[in-house]
A and B are shown apart, each in its own frame.
Chain A
């Protein structure tokens, strides 16, 4: 079959909402796009463990300690599901990690912000996971089968993540004035970076057109961002906190909120590596990878010895 015919068949399949499976024919750009997106997503889960992991040993109660530990562990699991989905496209985990450690691969910029106080753990769970879930719910219907299946499992497991964050915020917002101030400060610092998580505005998003055509994404960055604001503002009000946006206003006509312009300069700056924690996040991962090298070697050597004995 010639290239044009193959591409037509491929697009027809997508238009019938059929899934693409690892052995199916796919355009090289589709494969590249997905490897990039899935691995970025996986790296985000793994790097995302760090800002929250920063508070595991300082969680202020037994309950919070257990929940946070379980939550951060889930992120590791989600990274793993996603690495497996990427591997089904013919790239190894070694390569994927190598891309992360050498700075070739990107991950969600949100994790380059620091968790300075305990309430940041609440804000991250509530806002960052909330924004991530919005994206992930959509991706359960993404066109690549292994990616979609990983997302279904992830969404199921994530359902408690946002709730635990909101619960933390709720306790703080209804607590002492000091606790409430801590919660407001976290909201102030995490609100805008959370809106940035949906990516550049639609008219400035080079990869979006293909992603939509190939049914990798089913909604645009701006659509998702708008939905997030609409859903989250009432939650802020419930907490008795204030959204740090003077332009935020209900728009009856569009049945949604108008909101201020995201600081795109900051967004691109963090992507370029100038966020408050870019260096720390990456070097932490590189360090633990290095520290673990002898363990992986040992496990490999042990397995080789056992196989030799079994074969003899």
Chain B
């Protein structure tokens, strides 16, 4: 990763999460550049909600997001693969029993 040589500022990179309808979870829409929080919010609105896409927006500085690494796949996610008892299909429900 190279450092920028340009002596200019395009602001920080922010990640945008948009809620499409009330009650729905926020989903990642993309990124914007902005110099401050209010600008990030407005830029997100102006870019990602031009076609009635949203009812609420979160913006987060990209540098504040902590992500797991591809190398973590084994230790993070595979251990849950054999915990089948966490899923309802693991259990036998006698015939005739409903609402369960």
Q: A residues bordering B, Cβ < 8 Å?
A: 21, 23-25, 73, 77, 80-81, 84, 87, 90-95, 97-98, 149-150, 153, 157, 293, 296-297, 299-300, 302-303, 306
A92-B4, A303-B35 known; A297 vs B9 contact (CB < 8 Å)? yes
The answer to whether A293 touches B8 (Cβ under 8 A) is: yes
Residue B79 lies at the interface, judged by CB distance under 8 Å to chain A = no
CB < 8 Å neighbour of A24 from B5, B13, B33, B70: B70
**22 A–B contact pairs at CB < 8 A?**
A23-B70, A73-B50, A77-B50, A80-B47, A81-B30, A84-B13, A84-B30, A84-B31, A84-B32, A87-B31, A92-B6, A92-B10, A93-B10, A97-B10, A98-B8, A149-B30, A157-B51, A296-B8, A296-B9, A296-B11, A299-B11, A303-B11
Q: Give the secondary structure class of B's interface.
A: loop
Add 13 more A-B contacts to A94-B9, A95-B2, A97-B10 (CB < 8 A): A24-B70, A73-B50, A80-B32, A84-B31, A87-B31, A97-B8, A98-B5, A150-B30, A296-B35, A299-B11, A299-B36, A302-B35, A303-B35
The 9 A-B residue pairs with the shortest CB-CB distance in the complex, in nearest-first order: A90-B1, A299-B35, A94-B6, A84-B31, A98-B6, A303-B36, A92-B4, A303-B35, A93-B10
The answer to whether B10 touches A296 (Cβ under 8 A) is: yes
**Which A residues touch B32, using CB under 8 A?**
80, 84
The answer to whether A300 touches B2 (Cβ under 8 A) is: no
CB < 8 Å neighbour of B36 from A23, A98, A302: A302
**Which B residues touch A149, using CB under 8 A?**
30
CB < 8 Å neighbour of B4 from A23, A95, A296, A306: A95
A77-B47, A157-B51 known; A97 vs B9 contact (CB < 8 Å)? no
The answer to whether A93 touches B1 (Cβ under 8 A) is: no
Residue B66 lies at the interface, judged by CB distance under 8 Å to chain A = no
Bound CA span A6–B6, Å: 34
| Residue of B4, B35, B50 with most partner-chain A CB within 10 A | B35
B16 to chain A, nearest CB (A): 10
Q: Give the secondary structure class of A's interface.
A: helix
The answer to whether B4 touches A94 (Cβ under 8 A) is: yes
**Per-residue interface assignment for chain B, residues 34 to 52, with 1 indicating a CB less than 8 Å from any chain A CB and 0 otherwise:** 0110010000000100110
**Which A residues touch B1, using CB under 8 A?**
90-91
Bound CA span A105–B47, Å: 25
CB < 8 Å neighbour of A93 from B30, B33, B70: B33
Bound CA span A149–B31, Å: 12
Which single residue of chain B is at the shortest CB-CB distance from A25? B70
Which single residue of chain A is at the shortest CB-CB distance from B12? A303
A3 to chain B, nearest CB (A): 17
Bound CA span A159–B44, Å: 22
Which single residue of chain B is at the shortest CB-CB distance from A98? B6
The answer to whether A95 touches B36 (Cβ under 8 A) is: no
B74 to chain A, nearest CB (A): 14
Residue B75 lies at the interface, judged by CB distance under 8 Å to chain A = no
A288 to chain B, nearest CB (A): 13
B71 to chain A, nearest CB (A): 9
B11-36 CB contacts (< 8 Å) to partner A: 11, 13, 30-33, 35-36
CB < 8 Å neighbour of B2 from A91, A93, A157, A296: A91
Bound CA span A81–B4, Å: 20
Which single residue of chain B is at the shortest CB-CB distance from A87? B13
B91 to chain A, nearest CB (A): 33
A80-B32, A150-B30 known; A300 vs B11 contact (CB < 8 Å)? yes
**Which B residues touch A150, using CB under 8 A?**
30
CB < 8 Å neighbour of A306 from B6, B10, B11, B36: B36
Bound CA span A153–B53, Å: 12
Residue B97 lies at the interface, judged by CB distance under 8 Å to chain A = no
| Residue of B2, B30, B67 with most partner-chain A CB within 10 A | B30
